[in-house]
A and B are shown apart, each in its own frame.
Chain A
C-alpha cells in the first residue's frame, strides 16, 4: 500500500539556519504530493503541493520538488524564523477515494 516516511524529529535550529525535512514515499500510480503545517493548538494548513515529476511547490519561503526518480519530496527553507516552529507533515494523494496518506510528522523548533 501507499506510505510516506519522514525524518524523525524534533529538529532544532537557530533562527536564519537552513532547513531540510526529508520525505520519501511509496505509492501505486502517480500521486500528488503535499506538505501540511500544524502550528501549536491549530489544525493542519496546506503549505505547498505538486502533482507531477519536477514540479516545485513553494510558499512562504518553503520549497519542495517532486522527484519521481528518488520518490522524494523534501521540504527546504533557506532561513527559518522562530514563527516557523510547528509540526510539518508530508502527504500523498492517490486513487479515486482521494485518500491522503500522511507521514508521522516532524516537529521543528526554531530558537533565537
Chain B
C-alpha cells in the first residue's frame, strides 16, 4: 500500500546533540509537511514543502531545519536539541489535485531530549 513512513519511531537524545528525523512516502504526493504534537496543544506546523525546490517555514520553525532530498523524502533536523523540543513529530503528505486536499500522516516519531 502507498504509505508514509517515519524513522526512527522513538529517539532519546541529550541537550545539544544534532538529530535528524526522516520521512519517506510512496503516495507520489508533491506536498510534504512536518508537524509537532504536544499534549493539550493539538498539532503545530513546523515546515512544509510543495516540491523539491520549495521549502517554507510554518508557525514554529525556530530551532528546526529541513531538507527535501527528493519528491519522496523530507527530513527534519534539530541542530542543537533542547528539552522543550521533546514531543511527538509527524510527517504528512498531500496531493493538491485532490478536491479535498486532505493530508495523510505517518506514524510519528517520539523524541525525548534529556
Contact = CB atoms under 8 A, between A and B. Distances in A.
* Interface size class of chain A, counting residues whose CB lies under 8 Å from the partner chain: 20 to 34
Main secondary structure of the interface of A (DSSP, over half): strand
Interface residues of B, number: 26
Contacts of A98: 31, 48, 94, 96, 101, 103
A88 B107 CA distance: 16
Interface string A45-56: 110010100000
Interface of B: 4, 31, 33, 40-45, 48, 56, 58, 90, 92, 94, 96, 99-108
30 contacts: A4-B42, A32-B100, A32-B101, A34-B102, A36-B105, A42-B107, A42-B108, A43-B4, A43-B105, A43-B106, A43-B108, A44-B92, A44-B105, A49-B102, A51-B99, A51-B100, A89-B42, A89-B43, A93-B101, A93-B103, A97-B56, A98-B31, A98-B96, A98-B101, A99-B45, A100-B33, A100-B103, A103-B42, A104-B41, A105-B42
